[in-house]
Amino acid sequence: MTEAEKAKYKILIIDDDKFLLNMYSAKFKKAGFDVEVLPGTELALDKIKDGFKPDVLLLDVILPKMTGLEFVEKIKEEKLLPGAVFVMLTNQSDSADIDKAKKLKVHGYIVKATTIPSEVVEEVTEIIENNKK
């Protein structure tokens, strides 16, 4: 994927860890993506309902008030982002979470503890390429 192709994709990163938000934002911007970050699912839901349409959502499972998986379920139920690519980026490697993500047809599930940030960018780029054809 070229820089110009990447620039077409708006990525929304949702995580309650400000350090990780800043780090992943910097990594994805450096790779050429258009990046927005938010610390929680409620803020993200409000922004999406106000018309923000990210192409890719990268989110943690464990978040305050509404988990990342509950957020994906709500977005899909309300058909707020048809065609968006959802990628869980989490330390939750519990099979129940992975099964729920599969049922929700999440496009990718990346475990933070076993993936360095540059690999996360590579994996997400690959997931986008596989799902935007």
pLDDT digits (tens, 9 = 90+) for 55-104: 999 999 999 999 999 999 999 999 999 999 999 999 888 899 999 999 99
pLDDT digits (tens, 9 = 90+) for 3-56: 777 768 999 999 999 999 999 999 999 999 999 999 999 999 999 999 999 999
Stated pTM of the model:
0.93
Backbone angles phi, psi at 24, to 5 degrees: -70, -35
Strands 85-90 and 10-14: unpaired
